[in-house]
Amino acid sequence: MRIKLEVASIERVEADALVVPIFDKESPGGGLPSESAQAANDLAGGWIEELYRSGEFSGKEFETAMLYRPPGMKARRLLVVGAGRSDRFTPAGLRKVAGAAVRFLKPKSTPTIALVLDSGAAAAGQAAAAVEGAILGDFEPDQLKTDKKDAKTVDTFTVVLPGGDESLAETLRSAQVLAEAQNFARTLVNEPANRMTPTVLAARAREMAAECGLECQVLAQDQMRELGMGALLGVAQGSAEPPVLILLRYRPIEESGGAHLGLVGKGITFDSGGISIKPSEGMDKMKYDMAGGAAVIGAMRAIAQLRPPIPVTALIPAVENMPGSRAQRPGDIVATLSGKTVEVLNTDAEGRLILADALTYARTLGCTHLVDAATLTGAIVVALGQVNVGVFSSDDALLQRVLAAARAEGEKMWPMPMDEEYKEQLKSAFADLPNIGTRWGGAVTAAMFLKEFADPTPWVHLDIAGAAWLDDAKPFLAKGPTGVAVRTLAGLAVNWK
Ligand code: BES
Ligand code: MN
Ligand code: ZN
């Protein structure tokens, strides 16, 4: 999708559809508080007021009404999309409105779409959100459908700012980079496990690195054995697919500040549970257990294009968790890269095992700050649903940075506790640590386990098990992989100070 900026009044915009966000008529001040809505209404002879009066359209979120050949305008169609109450309107809301507009129009053959914004102080944030929403809304998880003869595309999305200026071009480019990186991650996650093995994930990362100018190194099984990554290799044992540790390095031309960010992503390309096998119901969804790894790869793609002054190293342990005849058994004890031993009481708690070795390795590479993203626990889905990412941290300063990045990028993330009391659950009679706790507080004990391997380096853990996958499509987003955490991780690096 091409992204354009047009500084013009709405009557001059040429497009298959011109989109105007319209506020709820119950908003304070009522009616049409925005300049663009007022202008569209006036040109179209009071059409929007008429819609309000008819009761057919009241401006509630994602309501739509379309007028063909709107009078006084060059655009073929005028689409109004409800944006909710004006006093509750945020860039996050506009991201959804733009996505809903694209998803509504796309099946109707509208290769060129333009969306009108009001100029003013909020214009930059809104323009960025609109671009992101359009690109994210355009994504369909239909890579492997062959019957796409009626498939329609949106080729150009134009942000129209009647009183704006060209200085917004850079903002739009960065929004485009972020959203495209997020869709790239979604494409990786959407691949089923037979087509997305650890080896394939490494090849995709390598290809992206070559295109974007990142260094890529892939550690093979024997190299990991030599290093002593016993926890990662234990998980890999049950699968015919060899494991890999994918490393991506971004180095700025000029470094500032001395910080070195390490991004670690869980790359379980399929999680059957291993010998502690999962119930068959819903097991198909476990192809998305590499969503953390995909988010990190996506973030690196954006970082390579936006070139912040901080070095960033990404580590993606990629492994298939299967119950093959060589699989590790409950009760096995593995020696991690850190030297600590772990009793594998449940082979389905595999994410923390591969992340333990990757976090240790990140520390040996000199990372001063660590952030991991992982579809780590069902418990976080119970706690937060598919809405928020659970955020765990050992370091308040880094936690605040990550939460600020999430807020700036419009990704919902919620801080979770990490009190020492939870650690009481991590006692093993036969090894330094067990890989599971009791029934209670499962997302926290998983995080406490990771902390043992990240300490003393400042570290944040994002449990994205809920937010990484949408079971039911939204008006603005397809069902399936969401690409959550890509924008936050990239934004964290890009705005590092
Ligand atoms: N990949 C799963 C976590 C998960 C569950 C993600 C549901 C998305 C949806 C993880 O490897 C896992 O199996 N965790 C277990 C841990 C348990 C055995 C302590 C879980 O959450 O049930
Ligand atoms: Mn598991
Ligand atoms: Zn898993």
The best mutation among 377, 439, 462 to test binding of ligand 1, ranked by most ligand atoms within 8 Å of the C-beta, falls on 377
Rounded distance between C-alpha atoms, residue 11 and residue 20, angstroms? 12
Mean pLDDT confidence for 358-386: 98
Q: What is the pLDDT of residue 221?
A: 98
What mean pLDDT, rounded, does the chain reach? 96
Q: What is the pLDDT of residue 122?
A: 83
Q: What is the pLDDT of residue 378?
A: 98
Structure tokens at 20: 């105007």
Rounded distance between C-alpha atoms, residue 34 and residue 30, angstroms? 10
* CA of 272, nearest ligand number: 2
435 lines ligand 1 (CB under 6 A): no
For residue 32, pLDDT beyond 90:
no
Single-letter amino acid, residue 375: T
For residue 34, pLDDT beyond 90:
no
Measured CA angle at 166 (ends 165, 170), to 5 deg: 125
Which tens digit of pLDDT belongs to each residue from 397-408? 999 999 999 999
Residue bearing the CA closest to ligand 1, atom 9: 378
CA of 227 to the centre of ligand 3 (A): 23
Rounded distance between C-alpha atoms, residue 356 and residue 377, angstroms? 15
CA of 366 to the centre of ligand 3 (A): 27
For residue 31, pLDDT beyond 80:
no
CA of 433 to the centre of ligand 3 (A): 19
* CA of 345, nearest ligand number: 1
Local structure of residue 112 (DSSP, 8 states): E
- Helix, strand, coil tally for the chain in percent (to 5): 40, 20, 40
Mean pLDDT confidence for 331-335: 98
Q: What is the pLDDT of residue 337?
A: 98
User: What is the enclosing helix (H) or strand (E) of 314?
Assistant: strand 312-321
Cβ atoms within 10 Å, residue 424: 11
**Range of lowest pLDDT (117-121, 290-294, 450-454):** 117-121
CA of 321 to the centre of ligand 2 (A): 8
CA of 375 to the centre of ligand 3 (A): 6
377 lines ligand 1 (CB under 6 A): yes
Question: What is the percent of the chain where pLDDT is above 70?
Answer: 100
Closest ligand 1 atom to the C-alpha of 289?
A: 1
Which tens digit of pLDDT belongs to each residue from 103-112? 999 999 999 9
For residue 360, pLDDT beyond 90:
yes
Measured CA angle at 292 (ends 434, 375), to 5 deg: 50
Nearest Cα to 268, choosing from 391, 362, 355? 355
Q: What is the pLDDT of residue 406?
A: 98
Residue bearing the CA closest to ligand 1, atom 16: 349
353 lines ligand 1 (CB under 6 A): no
The owner of tokens 């994602």 is: 62
pTM of the model: 0.98
Per DSSP, the three-state class of 414 is strand
Per DSSP, the three-state class of 169 is helix
Q: Which residues partner with 217 through β-bridges?
A: 247
Greatest CA separation for the chain: 79
Q: Which residues surround ligand 2, an ion (CB under 5 A)?
A: 271, 348, 350
Per DSSP, the three-state class of 382 is helix
For residue 62, pLDDT beyond 80:
yes
CA of 209 to the centre of ligand 3 (A): 26
379 lines ligand 1 (CB under 6 A): yes
The best mutation among 266, 348, 448 to test binding of ligand 1, ranked by most ligand atoms within 8 Å of the C-beta, falls on 348
Contact 476, 63 (CB under 8 A): no
**Where does CATH 3.40.220.10 sit in the chain?**
2-163
Q: Strand 341-344 relative to strand 433-434: parallel, antiparallel, unpaired?
A: parallel
Q: Looking at domain 2-163, does it have CATH number 3.40.220.10?
A: yes
**Where does CATH 3.40.630.10 sit in the chain?**
178-494
Active centre residues (catalytic): 278, 352
Residue bearing the CA closest to ligand 1, atom 17: 349
Q: What is the pLDDT of residue 54?
A: 95
* CA of 449, nearest ligand number: 1
CA of 489 to the centre of ligand 2 (A): 24
Mean pLDDT confidence for 57-61: 96
For residue 71, pLDDT beyond 90:
yes
For residue 30, pLDDT beyond 90:
no
351 lines ligand 1 (CB under 6 A): yes
Which tens digit of pLDDT belongs to each residue from 239-253? 999 999 999 999 999
Rounded distance between C-alpha atoms, residue 400 and residue 460, angstroms? 10
465 lines ligand 1 (CB under 6 A): yes
* CA of 435, nearest ligand number: 1
Q: What is the pLDDT of residue 14?
A: 97
- Residue 480 pLDDT level (bands cut at 50, 70, 90): very high
The owner of tokens 């520390």 is: 363
CATH class of 178-494: alpha beta
Rounded distance between C-alpha atoms, residue 445 and residue 150, angstroms? 49
Which tens digit of pLDDT belongs to each residue from 172-214? 999 999 999 999 999 999 999 999 999 999 999 999 999 999 9
Q: What is the pLDDT of residue 116?
A: 96
Question: What is the percent of the chain where pLDDT is above 90?
Answer: 94
CA of 354 to the centre of ligand 3 (A): 10
349 lines ligand 1 (CB under 6 A): yes
Closest ligand 1 atom to the C-alpha of 276?
A: 18
**Contacts (Cβ under 8 Å, ≥6 apart) of 417:** 444
Rounded distance between C-alpha atoms, residue 355 and residue 334, angstroms? 14
Rounded distance between C-alpha atoms, residue 379 and residue 462, angstroms? 13
426 lines ligand 1 (CB under 6 A): no
Structure tokens at 82: 């409800």
Which tens digit of pLDDT belongs to each residue from 424-479? 999 999 999 999 999 999 999 999 999 999 999 999 999 999 999 999 999 999 99
* CA of 383, nearest ligand number: 1
